Amino acid sequence: MELIKLHPPFTHFAIAMPVALLVLDLYYRFTKRQADSLHFVFSLLASLSVLSATLSGMVAYEPIENNLYQIAIFTTHKYMGFLLAVYFMLLLGVRLGFPKASPMRNLFTFMLIVGVLLLFLQGNLGGSIVYDHMVKPWIEKW
């Protein structure tokens, strides 16, 4: 299997896991439950999935690098991927830093909401790169 084929599934997990974590976090807040080991596992998986998507993106673009730099939004997508990897590692650090009931939990939830919104933007950019600039022109040739 070519490494370039790993990026799409990794990116889908990088969106799904943080969204699942956000749903879990909000559910815990509304039911007034404290963050527990399940919350921690989801935090860890969400952060690792974003990191995996970034790393797979670094590998995936090498074979088609020259083509990608001709797409105006690619540079934004690339650097936003790096930013999101660091951001979610910081988010995991915040999660590790708060005990079960703490004011840091508010920071965690706020950062998670911002992170998920940024992931949606990143997914939109990536989808545009693939479909608008690669698939659509190829289909139009036929």
Q: Structural domain boundaries of the chain?
A: 3-141
Write down the pLDDT at residue 12.
95
Give the model's pLDDT for residue 40: 95
* pLDDT, position 17: 98
What is the rounded distance in angstroms from the CA atom of residue 57 to the CA atom of residue 76? 13
Q: What is the pLDDT of residue 70?
A: 86
**Relative orientation angle of helices 7-30 and 104-127, to the nearest 10 degrees:** 150
pLDDT of residue 124: 95
Q: Is 120:15 a contact under the CB 8 Å cutoff?
A: yes
Please, which pLDDT band fits residue 76 given cuts at 50, 70 and 90? very high
Exposed / middle / buried, residue 2 (Cβ in 10 Å: 0-12, 13-18, 19+) = exposed
Residue with tokens 């599934």: 9
Q: What is the mean pLDDT of the chain?
A: 90
**What is residue 61's three-state secondary structure?**
coil
pLDDT band at 30 (very low <50, low <70, confident <90, very high): very high
Reported in sequence order, the residue ranges of the chain that DSSP labels E, i.e. its strands, are none
- CB of 119 within 8 A of CB of 21? no
CA distance 90 to 141: 45
pLDDT confidence band for 122 (50 / 70 / 90): very high
What is d(CA 53, CA 96) in angstroms, rounded to the nearest whole number? 22
- For residue 1, the model assigns a pLDDT of 52
Position 29 scores a pLDDT of 94
Residue 62, pLDDT score = 72
Q: Is the pLDDT of residue 83 over 70?
A: yes
CB 49 within 8 A of CB 18: yes
